[in-house]
Amino acid sequence: MAFDATEAGALREYRQGSETARLLLCGYCGVLMGVVFDHAGRTYGAVNAGCLDGEPALGSAAVVSPQRLSPAEKMERWLQVWVPDVVLPPANG
């Protein structure tokens, strides 16, 4: 899975809560496009399928409510269900 941005500032990152994951936001409209976190030399991520065009070939949608999970429980869940080896554009766009 790869997140790509053709213009500088098109993809912005934001951290909240435990600051373990990085939320990926559209730099123009602010929609949440996906989320990533780094673990053991790999980057894991999930995409907001609602911002994709057409009928993406993805698995079933999963409702996420992490507010009641500890940081360790969140990370364990991410390792189980998020896609490994995500590629992000360089920080300068």
The model's pTM: 0.74
pLDDT at 93: 46
Separation CA 42–CA 45 (nearest Å):
10
Q: What is the pLDDT of residues 55-84, one digit of tens each?
A: 767 777 766 666 778 888 888 888 988 889
Buried b (16+ CB within 10 A) or exposed e, 20-37: ebbbbbebeeeeebbbbb
Separation CA 89–CA 59 (nearest Å):
25
In the three-class reduction of DSSP (H, G, I as helix; E, B as strand; rest coil), residue 93 is classed as coil
